[in-house]
Amino acid sequence: MNIKESELILNPDGSVYHLNLKPENIANTILFVGDQGRVEKITKHFDTIEFKTQKREFKTQTGTYKGKRLTVISTGIGPDNIDIVMNELDALVNIDLETRKAKPVQTALNIIRVGTSGSLQADIPVDSFVMGSHGLDLTGLLHFYQIDQFTHPEIEDAFKSHTQWYSRKADPLIISNSSFLEKHFASAQTFIGITGTAIGFYGPQGRVLRLPVQNPELNHKMDTFNFKGMRITNLEMETSAIYGLSKLLGHHALSLNAIIANRANGTFSKNPHAAIENLIQYTLQKVITL
Ligand code: R1P
Encode pLDDT of 5-46 as tens digits.
999 999 999 999 999 999 999 999 999 999 999 999 999 999
Enumerate residue ranges in the chain where pLDDT < 50: none
Give the closest residue to 222 by CA, choosing from 285, 138, 289.
138
Residues 6 or more apart whose CB falls under 8 angstroms from that of 171 comprise: 140, 143, 156, 160
Domain spans of the chain? 23-287
pLDDT in tens, 161-187: 999 999 999 999 999 999 999 999 999
Rounded to whole angstroms, the Cα distance separating 185 from 191 reads 11
Give the closest residue to 60 by CA, choosing from 107, 95, 97, 23.
23
Residue with CA closest to ligand 1 atom 14: 34
Rounded to whole angstroms, the Cα distance separating 210 from 217 reads 17
Domain 23-287 has CATH 3.40.50.1580: yes
Query: Burial, 129: exposed, middle or buried (Cβ in 10 Å; 0-12, 13-18, 19+)?
Result: buried
- List beta partners, residue 254: 112
Residue with CA closest to ligand 1 atom 9: 77
Residue with CA closest to ligand 1 atom 10: 116
Question: What is the structure's pLDDT at 1?
Answer: 77
Give the closest residue to 19 by CA, choosing from 81, 108, 70.
81
Give the position, in ligand 1's atom list, of the atom nearest the Cα of 117: 5
- List beta partners, residue 227: 230
Report the pocket of ligand 1 as residue ranges, CB < 6 Å.
33-35, 77, 115-116, 201, 236-238
Instruction: Select from 197, 205, 236, 269 the residue to mutate for testing ligand 1; criterion: most ligand atoms less than 8 Å from CB.
Output: 236
Question: What is the structure's pLDDT at 221?
Answer: 96
Give the position, in ligand 1's atom list, of the atom nearest the Cα of 276: 12
Question: What is the structure's pLDDT at 263?
Answer: 87
Residue with CA closest to ligand 1 atom 4: 116
Question: What is the structure's pLDDT at 287?
Answer: 98
The answer to ipTM > 0.90 is yes
Task: Label the pairing between strands 226-227 and 252-262.
Answer: unpaired
Residue 188 CA: distances (Å) to CA of 60, 129, 134:
31, 10, 18
Question: What is the structure's pLDDT at 38?
Answer: 98
Query: At 285, which helix (H) or strand (E)?
Result: helix 272-287
Ligand 1 mean position to 104 CA, how many Å?
Answer: 36
Give the closest residue to 172 by CA, choosing from 210, 133, 143, 150.
143
